[in-house]
Structure 1
Amino acid sequence: MLDLLTILISISILVSGVLAVTLNNILAAAVSAGLASLSASVVFILLAAPDVAMAEAAIGSGLATFILLYTIHKTGAGKV
């Protein structure tokens, strides 16, 4: 059961990554990249690596997404 859940979440990481690359809206792409990182931290929890999961959630999902969204806001790139 745990293996199936890990595979399903890994597929969601791939889908989020592909969406982040292919979306035309830069704001949606940044959110999709953050979702991929958040899903990766869930997989790390399932694989019994809580220290790596906390680092991925804090840096990958939290800080990197915040910096991307802040940069989009300051440059006005998200406005169409």
Structure 2
Amino acid sequence: MTVLIVIALLAVLGGAAVVVFTDDPARQAVVLGVYGLLLTVFFMVLQAPDVALSQLAVGTAVTPLMVLLAVRKVAQSKRGKRDGR
């Protein structure tokens, strides 16, 4: 079991590095969703299904969706100002 925990922890560590070093906000939101999935697996390995379910709902689905919607709104706003609206 300890080896499985170490593997899951290394996957989470690698995923965190990818999230930090991703430049484009839209891609960052997608990578954040994948990172949330890695955290879900990690919590399942640690035998915390309640935390894993919360992470799956919030960290994998809701947060990246909110970031993508915010990025889209900012892009629309910039386009509107550029077009003179």
**Counterpart of 2:9 in structure 1: which amino acid?**
S
Q: 1:76 Cα deviation (Å)?
A: 1.8
**Counterpart of 1:72 in structure 2: which amino acid?**
V
Please tell me the root mean square deviation across aligned C-alpha atoms, in Å.
1.7
- Unpaired segments of 5 or more residues in structure 1? none
**Counterpart of 1:41 in structure 2: which amino acid?**
T
Q: Does 2:58 correspond to 1:59?
A: yes
State TM-score, norm by structure 2.
Answer: 0.75
**Counterpart of 1:9 in structure 2: which amino acid?**
A
Q: Percent identity at matched positions?
A: 25
| Alpha-carbon displacement from aligned partner over 1:11-61 (angstroms, at most 9, x marks no partner) | 121122112111222222222222112111111111111111101110111
Q: 1:66 Cα deviation (Å)?
A: 0.9
Give the secondary-structure state (helix, strand or coil) at the position aligned to 1:31: helix
Distance 1:13 1:47 in 2: 13
Please list, as runs of the form range in 1=range in 2, the aligned pairs for 1:1-40 lying within 5 A after superposition. 2-40=1-39
- Unpaired segments of 5 or more residues in structure 2? 77-85
Partner of 2:43: 44
Partner of 1:72: 71
**Corresponding pairs, count:** 76
State TM-score, norm by structure 1.
Answer: 0.79
Distance 2:73 2:19 in 1: 20
Contact 1:10 1:39 in 2 (8 A): no
Q: Which has the larger radius of gyration?
A: 2
- Consecutive aligned runs of 4 or more in structure 1 exceeding 4 Å deviation: none
